[in-house]
Amino acid sequence: MNKTATALLFKFIMTFVFAIIALRFIDNNTWGWVFWVALAGTALNYLVGDLFVLPKYGNIVASVGDGVMAALAAYIINLIVPAFQTTFTALALFAVLVAVGEYFFHQYLQRSEKVEP
């Protein structure tokens, strides 16, 4: 597995763990929906945050944006999927956890020359 795939896998696992904490333990959503929220958040954060925002605006802006985008993805899924329900508390916690995790993940990305953008 190349470094980029490994980094993306780590990013997904990190987001999934944060989603479990916020969306499963607080809001008692099913593992399946938590998985899909984590997958959507990972994809969105990679495509927008890592490839566009991070190189142009830096780590702090990208990290905060990633936290907001992950919570927004969860909120949108909440609006369209009756089986998935969330609260402001869980969304805020999810956003903060993702933002902090992404801050350190971005530092790794910026140091690693073998991870493709």
| Percent of the chain residues topping a pLDDT of 70 | 95
- Tabulate helix, strand, coil % of the chain (nearest 5): 85, 0, 15
Mean pLDDT for 75-102 is 97
Nearest to 69 by CA among 90, 96, 41, 36: 41
Residue 116 domain flag: no
pTM over 0.85: yes
Domain around 29: 3-111
Residue 117 domain flag: no
Number of folded domains that form the chain: 1
Q: Is the pLDDT of residue 114 over 70?
A: no
- Rounded Cα distance, 48 and 113, in Å: 20
In the chain, the amino acid numbered 43 is A
Nearest to 39 by CA among 75, 1, 70: 70
Nearest to 68 by CA among 80, 56, 76: 76
Q: What is the mean pLDDT of the chain?
A: 93
Structure confidence at residue 3 (pLDDT)? 81
Q: What is the pLDDT of residues 13-49, one digit of tens each?
A: 999 999 999 999 999 999 999 999 999 999 999 999 9
